[in-house]
Amino acid sequence: MKVDNIQDLEAKYIINTYSRDPGATPCLVRGEGSYVWDQNGKKYLDFLSGLAVNILGHCHPEVVEAIKKQASLLIHTSNLYYTAPQAYLAEALVESILPGGRVFFANSGAEANEAAIKLARKYNPGRYKIITAENSFHGRTMATLSATGQPRYREAFKPLVEGFDYARFNDLDSFAGLIDRQTAAIMIEPVQGEGGVYVAGSSFMRGLRKLCDREGLLLIFDEVQCGMGRTGKLWACENWPIKPDLLTVAKGLGGGLPIGALVADEAFSTVLQPGDHASTFGGNPVTCSAALAVLNLVREEQFLKEVRGKGLALEDKLNRIAADHPELIKETRGLGLIMALELKKAGAKEIQRKCTEHGLLVNAIGDHVIRFLPPLNISGDELEEGLEIFERVIKEG
């Protein structure tokens, strides 16, 4: 594929919704394992994983084989017909978290969350409000944008979808205080990703479950970013452990292909009926085949044990870097292989730029937070290599 003048073509033909720096953003053309290469042949260690999507790195052979095999047989049919990959993936997802439940397939995390919102509203007519957390991120459709607890994303698109209230994350009283007779559900990310990698506390999670049970509310966990083994458990909520009524997943599920899913517990699995909701591409045979290959690899306990070990190594190294640079770094936080480092003053975007120059891809969330989302199967040596690059950038200032 010809890759000359890509930046010029993008500037001319693509709506500019991503703040890329033409002088510092590579055009990536190839990936293998934990590495990607740009059009000039420069190699980068990927600590971003396509924003938590490439959880098995790039072009994992078993995922590639699943895609190739299914693409040679049947690419798309629509949901007017049965397909085997969709059914097999649904079985694996349900049995992994909410046995007895059912799945709705979509194409993204926002669409999975949209389905959860619709189900919660239909379940108990007259109760339509959903409480989410401040600093949360649930998507960019109008409903999921309205659910997102960050005003900077919502302001330009008012009037929003009504019925969303925002409570303080990790503050059970704040959530309880917003419940009224029209409240249908509480929706949270067990680990807030786009909001800066904040982890829910144990008493908070247990309290939410009891609160929802007492008030007759659905408890929805958005695990679009923190699910699929990212925290060292297949599902982040297993760290407490708390079972939701609805769970949404996307990003890492397809290992690089677009897929999202809403998993509903048995008591809520028949709320949505034919005509209530649909998705033309949802449950596509190729994406489901890829997702099943990913899920079969990630859900192995030995694999998850190794993720937990690598997560502890990442956390330990970041803590040591923070301790060596108290004038620069405020704190580190996270769980498993979703970690963040917060700066005391603005500079995250410059650190991201310098890391890219040195061959390491990380992510700046705003001006103060660097996020780390390496592939779950990254090796110990690769993890150490990336952290050495990062520490070098920090030392250079």
Residues tagged active-site: 137, 222, 251
Question: DSSP class of residue 268?
Answer: G
**Greatest CA separation for the chain:** 61
According to DSSP, residue 58 is labeled: B
Pairing verdict, β 183-188 and 218-222: parallel
Q: What is the number of other CB atoms lying within 10 angstroms of the CB of residue 275? A: 6
- The 10 Å Cβ neighbour count of residue 281 is 15
**d(C-alpha 69, C-alpha 390), whole Å:** 39
Provide the token pair at 146: 């309205």
Cβ neighbour number for residue 302 with a 10 Å cutoff: 7
Count of positions (residues) in the chain = 397
Residue 9 has a CB neighbour count (10 Å cut-off) of 11
Q: Which helix (H) or strand (E) holds 202?
A: helix 202-215
Separation CA 258–CA 287 (nearest Å): 7
